[in-house]
Structure formats: C-alpha cells, structure tokens
C-alpha cells in the first residue's frame, strides 16, 4: 500500500506586507545615501520578503535640502537638521552616510542614546572610535552594523564574522581602496597621470571627501583595522597601523616589477605571528600569476587565510553608489530581521564577546618580516654592486633575484633592482641607511615590500 506524502506547505504566521514597516532615518544623501535610496526603492518587494517586513526611509537629513527633495520626492520628511532624525520617536534605524569623525560621531552616539539601531559605512569613524560606539550600543541594547565600511559591496564583514567563524584566521591581505587601485590600473594601462585619474575617481564618487585618505593608505588602514579586530578578536587599534600610500610609486618601479613577474598593488595586510599581529598598508609586489594581482580598476579583493578552509578570495566593487548601497541595504535587512525576531541573540559587533577580546600586541613595523624589492641608482663603475651586496650580507639579508639595467646612451648611472628573501624590516632599514651613504650611490633607495601570498 502506498502512503500519500503530504505536499509541502510553507508555514506563514504573518504577512510581511501588512506588518508595520521598519522606519529608517537617513543621514546624508550623497553618493552612498543616494544609492541606498534608489536600491531600496527599486527592490522594495523582494527586500520586504527577505526582511519579513517593509523597510521604509521616512526621514532624510542633508545639508542640501533641495537636492534631497529631488532624489527622494515628496513622500519623505526632509530636514537640514540631522538631530531631528536621531531624536525622532518614529525612527527605528538611523543610517549614517555623512562621513568624517566629528558630526558623524555625535549623531551616531545620539542615535544610540535614543535607542536607535545604527548602520554606517563610515570606516574612519569606526576604526578610530569603534570601541566607544560599540560599548554605547551594547549598553543600550541596539545594533551597529557596518558591512559597507569595508570593501564596498563585498560582504567581507559577514564572511569574517559568520561564514569563517570556525577558523583560526592566520592572515588577511586585501586590495581595499578602490580609488588607489583605479589610479594604479589607469596609470599602467592608459599611461594617464596620477592627477588626471584621481580627478576621474572623484567624479565617479569613489574617493573620500579628503582624497589623501585614499592615496596615502589611510582609508585602507581604517578598513584593515576593522577586519583585524574581527579576525583576531582584538580592539580597534588604527593608531598602531603602519600606513604608506601610492604617491611615491613611479612608472619605472611599476615597469621593473612587471619585468620580474610581479604587479604592484596597495595592499592591506594583517597577520597573526608568534610575537604579535602585523597591521600594515603599503604598496606591495605580488606575483602576477596570483588572482589578486589581476584585480583592476575600482574592484577590491580580499584573501582570507583560515586554518580550516585555507585561502578564500572575495572579489567585487569596492566603491561607488550602488555597490556600497548593496551592503547598506543588506545591513538594513539584517537589523530588521533581528529587531523583529530575537534582538537578544545577535552576533557581537566584533564577532567575539566584548569582554573576551584578546590583548595580543600589534607588532611594530620594524619587527615585521617580509620580502623586498629594492631599486638603487648607482654610478656605472666597478665595485658598486659588491659594496651593496656586502652591506646586505652583513645584515643577514639574502638576495632572491637581481637585474642590472643597461645605462641609457650618454648616461653614467644605472638602476639595479633586487628582490630579497624574507628579512626583518629593521634590518632592511639599517641596510638602506648604509647603502644610501655608499660613495657610488646617486639617489635614494626605493623600497617596496613583496608578498608571495602563498596559500600554504
Ligand atoms: P558624499 O559626500 O557623497 O555624501 C555625504 C552627504 O552628507 C552629502 O550629501 C553631504 O552634503 C551630506 N552632509 C554633510 N554634512 C552633513 C550634515 N551635517 N548634516 C546632513 N548632511 C550632511 O559621501 P559618500 O556618500 O561618498 O560617503 C558617505 C560615507 O560612506 C563616508 O563615511 C564614506 O567613507 C563611506 N563610503 C563611501 C563609499 C563610496 O564609494 N563613496 C564606499 C564605502 C563607504 P554636502 O554635499 O552638502 O556636503
Ligand atoms: N574611497 C573609498 C575607496 C570608498 O576608494 O575605496 C570605499 O570605501
């Protein structure tokens, strides 16, 4: 006798479309704020089904009320005073998309104080004041979500905090500033100048309000600080990050690196070592065969090495209106779900319980061990190379590869390019100081760090 299997009946205890929607207050309707408004409106029906109830932007604060009105229309309350949003009793979630440390911090803390959940894309704010903000949120029992703060549209926070939670994270290396990657790509592919490409990045809405944050590695260091905190269970320590940007890179270095089989990328690297945690942002040579070496334009990519999973790679748009909005709206859905379902059981802000953070030290840059690309300009005379290699040998630095360029016609100086094996930064610093004093040296030594990024 055959038994009848009952057809699957989805259990529907409520209708998300008739539940009271979650009310959102948006602070700042610029690049990301505008993208957030558009994506939320365009995908409203699907988002409601995913979140379990509607998510509606009820109020917007922006300095430019006319602009906000043009984007949002007449159904939204618009004000120039952001305080009205964070204190409004009807607002459940405040989305902070103003940027900067001052007004954004004040408004975020005020929103928390008023019992609002907060979503922000502001990595500068979190990397510098995250500890204080998370403590305030914890005390008040509200959420602070920040997926958009790192790597734009890539859900890297969720991957680190949830998807990879079984792993002991060993290291993270990422191209996490879209503007500088865009500049490096366009300079290399189209031969454009630094300033021209930076202007394009600003026009496209990729750059920070102060673009030196992008090109000097500060923005990448903000993002790296956040990822390190989540990966290793340490407090935010942006002030201990080593930061070096792309402004001193030359076309020659980019070309020489290519000749040696490498690409130069601005990388953020954080690594657990026996002595402490490396936290560093700098231009880095990467073997051209690595996937991450081929990440171009505004795209970002993050490699995370976990002990169980091995190396995993996350790739996507790192900046821009809608890619970043994708992360902001994902946070809106997450917060709505948790707010609606079970607000007591939420993932801690930094993945680890706040009273269980570790005090593993951040390593001083001098203690970091990596390989190096060195470019030296010397007089084309016998003995120049021997003097240099002696300095390196005396400091225990061994050479992995070397190229001596032919001098151009009529020139009496040559470039020597060296790749070293692993060496300690303080030894390289000492070697560079000594080499620079050699009589046959004619310019400053260029040093770019090199990472093999092996998955072993
Ligand atoms: P924008 O400058 O484009 O937008 C900020 C908006 O906030 C502007 O409309 C600005 O008005 C408004 N504003 C400034 N001060 C106030 C204030 N006191 N009250 C109300 N409104 C105010 O910045 P983005 O959208 O590019 O960046 C927003 C945040 O997102 C930043 O923290 C940034 O780091 C982060 N982010 C940006 C990404 C991107 O691709 N752009 C990607 C990931 C994160 P006005 O124009 O008049 O100054
Ligand atoms: N200015 C940042 C970048 C925006 O270029 O990556 C995204 O965080």
Enclosing H/E stretch for 290: none
- 443, HSE (Cβ side, Cα atoms, 13 Å): 12
Query: Does ligand 2 have an atom closer than 6 angstroms to the CB of 31?
Result: no
Query: Does ligand 2 have an atom closer than 6 angstroms to the CB of 323?
Result: no
Beta strands 423-424 and 369-379, pairing class: antiparallel
CA of 295 to the centre of ligand 2 (A): 15
Q: How many helices (H) and strands (E) does the chain have?
A: 15, 17
Atom of ligand 2 nearest to the CA of 177: 6
Query: Does ligand 1 have an atom closer than 6 angstroms to the CB of 298?
Result: no
> Known catalytic residue: 405?
no
Closest CA to 331 of 85, 105, 126: 126
CA of 99 to the centre of ligand 1 (A): 5
Atom of ligand 2 nearest to the CA of 211: 1
Q: Give the 3-state secondary structure percentages of the chain, helix then strand then coil, rounded to 5.
A: 40, 25, 35
Query: Does ligand 1 have an atom closer than 6 angstroms to the CB of 28?
Result: yes
Q: Which of helix, strand or coil describes residue 126?
A: helix
Question: Which domains are present in the chain?
Answer: 22-153+323-356 (3.40.50.720), 156-318 (3.30.360.10), 367-450 (3.30.70.260)
Per-residue pLDDT of the chain (456 residues; tens, 9 = 90+): 445 544 544 444 557 777 889 999 999 999 999 999 999 999 999 899 888 889 999 999 999 999 999 999 999 999 999 999 999 999 999 999 999 999 999 999 999 999 999 999 999 999 999 999 999 999 999 999 999 999 999 999 999 999 999 999 999 999 999 999 999 999 888 888 899 999 999 999 999 999 999 999 999 999 999 999 999 999 999 999 999 999 999 888 998 999 999 999 999 999 999 999 999 999 999 999 999 999 999 999 999 999 999 999 999 999 999 999 999 999 999 999 888 765 555 566 787 777 888 999 999 999 999 999 999 999 998 888 999 999 999 999 999 999 988 878 888 899 999 999 999 999 999 999 999 999 999 999 999 999 999 866
CA of 33 to the centre of ligand 1 (A): 7
Would you state the pLDDT for residue 1? 44
| Pairwise CA distance, residues 432 & 435, whole Å | 5
Atom of ligand 2 nearest to the CA of 123: 8
| Pairwise CA distance, residues 96 & 107, whole Å | 8
| Pairwise CA distance, residues 173 & 152, whole Å | 16
- Dihedral, CA atoms, 363, 364, 366, 367, nearest 10 degrees? -20
Angle at 108 between CA 107 and CA 113, to 5 degrees: 95
Would you state the pLDDT for residue 294? 95
Q: First vs last Cα of the chain: how many Å apart?
A: 57
Beta-ladder partners of 77:
59
Would you state the pLDDT for residue 345? 53
Structure token pair of residue 166: 């079984």
Residue for token pair 């979140």: 51
| Pairwise CA distance, residues 454 & 180, whole Å | 24
Catalytic residue among 105, 110, 123, 223: 223
Count of beta carbons in the 10 Å neighbourhood of residue 1: 2
Query: Does ligand 2 have an atom closer than 6 angstroms to the CB of 206?
Result: yes
pLDDT 10s digits, 415-456: 999 999 999 999 999 999 999 999 999 999 999 999 999 866
Please list, residue by residue across 383-419, b when 16 or more beta carbons sit within 10 angstroms of its beta carbon and e when fewer do. ebbeebbebbeebebeeeeeeebeeeeeeebbbbbbb
Structure token pair of residue 346: 């939420």
| Pairwise CA distance, residues 241 & 221, whole Å | 6
Would you state the pLDDT for residue 347? 66
Would you state the pLDDT for residue 171? 98
Would you state the pLDDT for residue 216? 98
Query: Does ligand 1 have an atom closer than 6 angstroms to the CB of 122?
Result: yes
Q: Whose CA is nearest to atom 7 of ligand 2?
A: 319
CA of 25 to the centre of ligand 1 (A): 15
Atom of ligand 2 nearest to the CA of 324: 7
Give the distance, in angstroms, between the CA of residue 251 and the centroid of all CA atoms in the same chain. Answer: 25
pLDDT 10s digits, 122-150: 999 999 999 999 999 999 999 999 999 99
CA of 350 to the centre of ligand 2 (A): 21
């Amino acid at each position: 006798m055959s038994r009848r299997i009952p057809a699957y009946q989805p259990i529907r205890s409520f209708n998300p479309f008739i539940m009271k929607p979650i009310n959102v207050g948006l602070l700042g309707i610029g690049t990301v704020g505008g993208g957030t408004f558009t994506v939320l409106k365009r995908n409203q029906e699907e988002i409601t089904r995913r979140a379990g109830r509607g998510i509606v932007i009820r109020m917007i604060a922006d300095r430019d009320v006319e602009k906000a009105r043009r984007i949002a229309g007449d159904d939204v309350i618009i004000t120039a005073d952001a305080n009205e949003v964070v204190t409004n009793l009807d607002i459940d979630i405040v989305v902070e998309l103003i940027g900067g440390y001052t007004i954004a911090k004040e408004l975020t803390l005020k929103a928390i104080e008023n019992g609002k959940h907060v979503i922000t894309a502001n990595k500068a704010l979190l990397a510098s004041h995250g500890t204080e903000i998370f403590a305030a949120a914890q005390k008040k029992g509200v959420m602070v979500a920040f997926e958009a703060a790192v790597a734009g549209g890539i859900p890297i926070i969720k991957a680190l905090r949830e998807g990879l939670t079984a792993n002991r994270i060993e290291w993270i290396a990422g191209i996490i500033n879209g503007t500088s990657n865009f500049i490096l790509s366009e300079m290399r592919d189209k031969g454009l100048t630094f300033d021209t490409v930076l202007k394009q990045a600003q026009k496209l809405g990729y750059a920070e309000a102060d673009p030196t944050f992008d090109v000097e590695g500060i923005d990448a260091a903000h993002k790296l600080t956040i990822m390190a905190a989540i990966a290793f269970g340490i407090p935010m320590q942006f002030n201990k990050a080593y930061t070096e940007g792309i402004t001193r890179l030359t076309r020659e270095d980019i070309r020489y690196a290519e000749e040696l089989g490498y690409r130069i990328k601005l990388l953020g690297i954080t690594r657990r070592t026996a002595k402490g945690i490396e936290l560093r942002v700098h231009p880095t040579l990467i073997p051209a065969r690595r996937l991450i070496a081929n990440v171009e334009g505004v795209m970002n990519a993050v490699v995370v090495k976990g002990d169980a999973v091995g190396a995993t790679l996350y790739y996507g748009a790192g900046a821009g209106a809608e890619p970043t909005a994708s992360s902001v709206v994902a946070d809106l859905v997450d917060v709505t779900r948790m707010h609606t379902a079970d607000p007591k059981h939420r993932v801690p802000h930094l993945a680890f319980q706040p009273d269980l953070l570790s005090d593993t030290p951040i390593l001083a840059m001098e203690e970091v061990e990596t390989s190096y690309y060195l470019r030296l300009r010397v007089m084309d005379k016998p003995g120049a190379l021997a003097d240099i290699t002696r300095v390196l040998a005396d400091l225990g630095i061994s050479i992995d590869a070397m190229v001596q360029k032919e001098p151009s016609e009529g020139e009496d100086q040559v470039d020597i390019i060296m790749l070293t094996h692993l060496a300690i930064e303080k030894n390289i610093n000492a070697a560079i100081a000594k080499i620079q004093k050699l009589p046959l040296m004619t310019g400053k030594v260029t040093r770019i760090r090199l990472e093999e990024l092996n998955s072993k």
